[in-house]
Structure 1
Amino acid sequence: MRKLLLLIIISTLFLACQPGNKAKDDAVNFKNVNQQMTKSFSDLNAQDTFKIELNGRKPENMVLVFNIKKAGGKEIYHVQLKGSDLIGDTDPNLDLSKEKDQMTFLKTIADNFFAEDNFLEPAVLPEDKADNYVPDKVLYEELKKSRLNGFKYRLGKENNVYIAWSEKEQKVKIYYKCC
């Protein structure tokens, strides 16, 4: 009986010291993303606040919220991107079949949202020519003259959105949308 009891105790200790089970190992350890930074955007002499949030616990329910506020606090741009849309419109060679990989992918998008090359200073260079990806030629010409800065972000595999402040219309507009 003593040997059996000793065997049970040793077995219990052995199992307790083993790493977690497979299901636990595959669990996603995720913290919501909440970042902000200031950059000149709607006014070359003032700093606007750019903010990105990634909220949710499951990729299909996650939402990436991006907004820009002027120096005085007034919101001038707001967009919500569904995690499921971002996952669905990505490189088909990228394997996102597992939830863990989807979470990592969405977190990477949020973490890289404010990469330095997404801030375009100025939005449009004087020598730039409008092409078929320019939805508003008048705004494009306005940006050449104002020399205001732009910002670009990715909606999917080949879908970049370029935005800038229109002094004339007093709002943020898309000035380029392309691959």
Structure 2
Amino acid sequence: MRNIALLAATCLILLTACNSKNKKETNTIEFKNVNQRIAKSFSDLKRLDTFKIELTGRKPEEMVLNFTIRNADGKEIYNTKIKGADLLGNTDPNVDLSKEKDQIVFLKTIANDFFSDDNFLEPAVMPEDKADQYTPDKLLYEELKKSGLNGFKYRLGKENNIYIAWSEKEQKVKIYYNCC
């Protein structure tokens, strides 16, 4: 009888330990890096460039969003690294990001939505568009009107979108608009 009571107590302890471990795991986020590619016309209207986004790191303060564009020949024409901490610091103050779990979900959402159709601008500048105070390079803006090349926009924060396009004249990707 004593052995049965000891066995029952041991089983109860093990069962409780296993259940508490399982509950703990369901509250954690399964970590999986974001790594996406998409082919779109950008530096040449007849050939496709490869856009790649990769989110690395396990903790929000260590996470980095690495964005690159390679032309049809495989040459890297654009690369920027955006720190997760910068994206978190420039977000809407009404969004509650006080918990690490919510910060990770937020950063993954930004990375997963990076290549949404709304961010590919075809063409970058419409012929009737006019440059304004958010146009850092008026000559590039006019060049894009004539070339009809496509643009891409991405966000750095709540009120900061970067618009980039290929400059045929300078043979590089440049910011042509920076606004809300």
Structure 2 unaligned regions, length at least 5: none
Offset at 1:29? 1.2
Offset at 1:11? 1.2
Name the CA distance, whole Å, in 1 between partners of 2:39 and 2:11: 59
Name the CA distance, whole Å, in 1 between partners of 2:18 and 2:64: 38
Q: TM-score, normalized by length of structure 2?
A: 0.94
Name the CA distance, whole Å, in 1 between partners of 2:23 and 2:82: 32
Name the CA distance, whole Å, in 2 between partners of 1:126 and 1:56: 42
Name the CA distance, whole Å, in 2 between partners of 1:69 and 1:17: 49
Offset at 1:25? 3.6
Other-structure match for 1:11? 12
Name the CA distance, whole Å, in 2 between partners of 1:161 and 1:14: 54
Name the CA distance, whole Å, in 2 between partners of 1:158 and 1:2: 69
Counterpart of 2:32 in 1: which secondary structure?
coil
- Whichever residue aligns with residue 8 of structure 1, its letter is A
CA displacement, residues 94-117 of structure 1 (integer Å, 9 cap, x when unaligned): 011111111100000000000001
Other-structure match for 2:102? 101
Map 1:37-56 onto structure 2 (within 5 A). Answer: 37-56=38-57
Other-structure match for 2:127? 126
For the aligned residue pairs, the C-alpha RMSD in angstroms reads 1.5
Name the CA distance, whole Å, in 1 between partners of 2:21 and 2:139: 60
Identity percentage over the alignment?
69
CA contact (8 A) 1:113 1:153 kept: yes
CA contact (8 A) 1:69 1:75 kept: yes
CA contact (8 A) 1:64 1:80 kept: yes
